[in-house]
Amino acid sequence: MRKKLVRIAMLLAAVLLCALCFAACASGNMGGSDNSSDGSAEAPETPGDSSDQSDIVAGDVDRKIVYYVSITLRTEDVAAAGDSLKAKGSDAGGYVESQNLSADEDGTSRIYIVLRIPTEQLDAFLSTVGNNGRITSQNISTTDITTQYVNASARKTALEERKAQLEEILSDTGLSASERITVINEISEVNSQLQSIELQLTEYDSLVGYSTVRLTVLREGNNAAGPIVLTVILVVLFVGLAAAVIVLAVKLSSASRRNKMQK
């Protein structure tokens, strides 16, 4: 019976040891993780370090590239960081497209800011973001619209040439009234198509010329409850297992004494 008790105690001790190892690993992972709102992988936490994002647009000067940047930033003073980022964007020649201030139930504030930054100033602007707090996630994506832009430009050129031809035809004094009306209507249709193409090209130029930067500014440490809750759960688990070991040991000891008395 004693040998059986020893084996059971060793087994439970092993279970407790595994639980403690799990607690240490889980606490380390929870403490080191950061559940940012955009779900991106964490970026290096060195404030102001832009070595991994320098010269983003340097190799794309001959193409029509649209840049989209998403950054999550944690700081002690959310409002001050938001104001600083907007000021830096303005200094770079950009503007605020939209912004939204919200607060959690515990009063923790956060700011969402969408900036349009001149693409030629994008690298310089991004190098200053980390000065306002701790960058926990960053994602940079691009869309190459070179083909669409070239096609639209070619279409515009063709329409302009067609318009010039129609205007030359319209200048012919030998046209009948019905022929003149037909030409005028076609010129009107060409002008409508030209206007649409020009608006499209203007939109393309805006997308290429001004990169979109989405900033999420959060208060530092507002996710600290996670490790605390996990620690409490693991402590309860440890205490429960320890109590189970004690109860089992008492029962086995009582059974052993009863067996001896019966003998």
- The token pair that represents 87 in the structure block: 């000021």
* Whether residue 213 sits in one domain with residue 127: yes
Q: Which domain holds residue 133?
A: 58-145+209-219
Asked whether 27 and 230 are in contact (CB, 8 A), the reply is yes
Q: Residue 53 domain-assigned? A: no
**Per the structure, how many domains does the chain have?**
3
| Residue reference for tokens 């994002």 | 53
- Mean pLDDT throughout 110-128? 96
Residue 44 in any domain: the answer is: no
pLDDT tier for residue 37 given thresholds of 50, 70 and 90? very low
Residues 160 and 183 in one domain: yes
CB 215 within 8 A of CB 83: no
Q: What is the pLDDT of residues 214-259, one digit of tens each?
A: 999 999 864 444 455 556 566 656 656 666 656 666 666 666 666 6
**CB 73, CB 45: distance < 8 Å:** no
Six-digit token pair at 173?
């004094």
CA dihedral 255, 259, 262, 263 (to 10 degrees): -170
Q: How many CB atoms lie within 10 A of CB 11?
A: 11
Same domain, 90 and 134: yes
Backbone phi, then psi, for 77, in 5-degree steps?
-120, 95
**C-beta separation of 216 from 135 below 8 A:** no
pLDDT band, residue 205 (cuts 50/70/90): very high
CA gap 141, 126 in Å, rounded? 14
pTM above 0.95, yes or no: no
- Taking only the tens place, the pLDDT of each residue in 10-36 is 555 555 555 555 555 544 444 444 443
Q: Is 140 in the same domain as 158?
A: no
* Residues 81 and 117 placed together within one structural domain of the fold: yes
Whether residue 74 is found in the same domain as residue 101: yes
99, part of any domain:
yes
